Each structure stands twice: as C-alpha cells, then as structure tokens.
Amino acid sequence: MANELMNWLTQASLLATAVTIAILLLRRLTLRFFGAAIAYQYWLILPATLLANLLPNSSTIEPISYVAQPIAQLLNYASPIAQSGGTKLSELIATLWILGCLMMAAWFCRQHLYYLKMLGNLKPMHGIYQAQRLDIGPALVGVWRAKIIVPGDFFQRYTVEEQELIIAHEKNHAKRGDAFANMLCAFTQCLFWFNPLIHLAANCFRLDQELACDASVVAQYPDARRAYAEAMLKTQMTDSRSVIGCQLQSHQPLKERIMQLHQTSPAQAKKSLGKFALTALLGLCAYSAWAVSANSVQDVVSAKAFTPSQSLAVISGKKTYSVKTTIQLDGVSVNPGTLSKEGDAAQISIDGKSAKWDIAYTLHSGQVKDGVETVLFDMTVKKDNKIVAQPKLLMGLNTSANVQQKNSANGADFDIRLEAGVVN
C-alpha cells in the first residue's frame, strides 16, 4: 500500500510540475494575445491532467503514441525513485506526506476561520452583507452559499459608481464559481505541500483570476475604467486572510491589474483561437497523463497482488507471447499473466512480507526440437533491488517448467512456475 501511494505521489508530482511549468511559460503569451479570461481558463489543464492520471486504464495497451512520449519517459524514471528505498522507507515517507497534508489543511482552515471571525455580525443590506470592521472586504465568502461582504464604511468610502463596480466584480466571481476554484487550488497545495512550484503557481492562479474578473467588469462598464481603478486604490488598505474567498483587494500586484484595465479586449477571432489552443493542449496533457498512468507506464510491467492468490501484469508493445506464472516467495503466492514481445523485457514487482521483489525476464525464440517450438527465458530475480539469481530456462511452448532456489544464505528462496504460448 505504501509503495503504491509513493508511486502515485511521485508520478502525480512530476505531472503537476511539468504542467505547471508549461502554464507559467504560456501565461504572458496567452494574456497578451487571447485576453485575461482565456488566460485564466488555461489553469484548467492542471486539475484535468491530474484527474486523467487517476482514470482506470486497460490492462494491456498498445504503444503510447509519440505525443505521450515526453511524459512517459519522465514517469519511467519516477517508478524506481519511489520504490528504491523498500517498504519501510516508503511507509515513512507516506506518513510524513500525510502529516504535511494535514498540517497544511489545518493552516488553511485556521486562516479561513479567523477571517470569518473578523467579519463579526453581518448586516444584510440590499443583497449584500456589511461587516462591522472597516478593514475587511469587499469580498465573496462561501463556496455553496456565497455572500458578498463589504466593509463597515462601504457606503461612505466609495462613490455610488464605485459601489456598483465592486458589487459587479464580486458577482462575477460568484457566477464563475471562483470560490470553488480557490478551494480546489488550496486542496492541490495541501496534496503537494512539499513542491514550492505549486505554491508559486497558486499565487499566479489567484492573480489571473482577478485579472479575468477585472476584464469582465470592464467589458460590462467600458467607460468606468478610471472609477474602477480608484475603487481598487481605496481597497488596498483592507485585510485579507482567506484562501478560499475572493477579495477585491487580494495581495496581487496592483500596478499590473490597473495597467491591464487599459488593454483592449481581443478580437473574437483571437478568442476563438485561444479556446482552440486551450482545448488542444488540455486534451494532449490529459491523454498523455492517462496513457502513462501508474497502471500502464510504457515498457514497465507491474504485477501487484490484488488478492492473496491473483495479480495482474500489463505491458505495452505488440503481443507475441502469453506467459502464465505462479510465483511463491517470501510468504506470498501470486499468479500474474503477461503479454510480451520477443526481445522485450517484462518485469513483475511483488511486495513480499519482508522485502520487495522484482522479477524481470526476456523471451527469445529457440529451435524446434522433436517438432516442439522452444523459447528461452533469460531471467533476473532481485530482492530489495539486489540481484539474488539470474537463471536461464529453455522450455517448450505450451508446457510448464519451474525455476527454484532453496535454502539460500540470504533468505532469497523462490519457486517460479512458467508456461509460455504464442499469441500471434
């Protein structure tokens, strides 16, 4: 269980890092050519990629297409990294990761609860809620039943025009579901609390969110850019401590937001091109993540015991041999089946009671003897990443044979029964 968790965490972290770097590199370009609204939507690629990596995959897959190769190669390196320390190290790292997630979640909850406490008794007025304090809001608070919160001196500090713009800003947040997006962002930060790039991306995500909301307000009120900028300036003194809520002032660069107000909206053709590019990139990343998911990384066979008596092995590549195995070692008995092309290495990984075992083999066609076609198994057996045996076995097709090692000095006893048949 710990090894599987570490494998997923390593691969998910590498995926998140790769996708985040791509989005950060594209941010300025998409903002300039496609506008703030389209640039903000590019952040959808990250959760879509992580979700696609969790989707179930076929137990036997054809070679991953060339578009998935970069991520496939990256994740092929991830698997041994996550497994190199053995079961005990994996359990320790998994425990530390869970503690880190809980601590980060507790910190975010503390921030949000403190923010709610600061609001005091809210006074409903014309569909908005007025806080007691003067140094909090305007903001949209709440995920399921969002409320627009304004400071206690809202009607004195802002002009009527500015009040209308501020309320329009927060309504745009509510319409787009930005509070839910912020909650999802915080959840991602908790999962990858150890990755500084994710926290940097969270700040950029919040800035893009505000820029997109500003663009929506300017599109609604094209002649109120100056009033909108003045409302921002009046709001910068307020306090902001919620990672889930949407605050007008936020902690984002004010200069950049005001400068962006003067940008003209992109033409419809550019917006359409931006959406097309977003759809293509999202589909590419999601498919690549799905194709190289933990259960089907290219060129790797992973045989995990789904039940005490049966497990499944998968491999990419053209199907040539069907191999049935019965493996008994370290107090575990499993029966993985593999499909393997001649000359391709297949690997079966098993978590024993005291160690992690890896059994790799390559098949080569042998000569025909007495009318029976033969196949040569070239095997390597490892216990905790140390080679304990390298047997070679020549056997006839559709017949069974055993490879055994007993009474070994290092406790590396095993009994492997093999049967190979030609698929095509």
**Which pLDDT belongs to residue 336?**
86
Across the strands, what pairs with 368? Answer: 373
Burial of 387 (0-12, 13-18, 19+ CB in 10 A): exposed
Q: For residues 37 and 362, what is the distance between their CA atoms, to the nearest angstrom?
A: 53
Which sequence spans correspond to the domains of the chain? Answer: 2-291, 304-422
Strands (E), 122-176: 123-125, 128-130, 139-141, 147-150
Please tell me the predicted confidence (pLDDT) of residue 414. Answer: 86
Task: Please state whether the predicted TM-score (pTM) of the whole model is above 0.75.
Answer: no
CA gap 12, 293 in Å, rounded? 9
Whole-number pLDDT of residue 126: 80
- Amino acid 81: pLDDT: 42
Tens of pLDDT, residue by residue over 85-131, are 456 777 888 889 999 999 999 999 998 888 888 888 888 888 889 98
- Cβ distance 247 to 240 under 8 Å? yes
Q: Count the helices and strands in the chain (H runs, E runs).
A: 12, 17
The predicted structure's pLDDT at residue 188: 95
pLDDT < 70 stretches in the chain = 1-3, 57-87, 236-241, 248-252, 293-319, 424
pLDDT in tens, 252-308: 577 788 888 888 888 889 889 999 999 999 999 888 888 776 444 333 333 333 333
- pLDDT of 236 reads 61
pLDDT value, residue 305: 36
By C-alpha distance, which of 150, 152, 161, 156 is closest to 127? 150
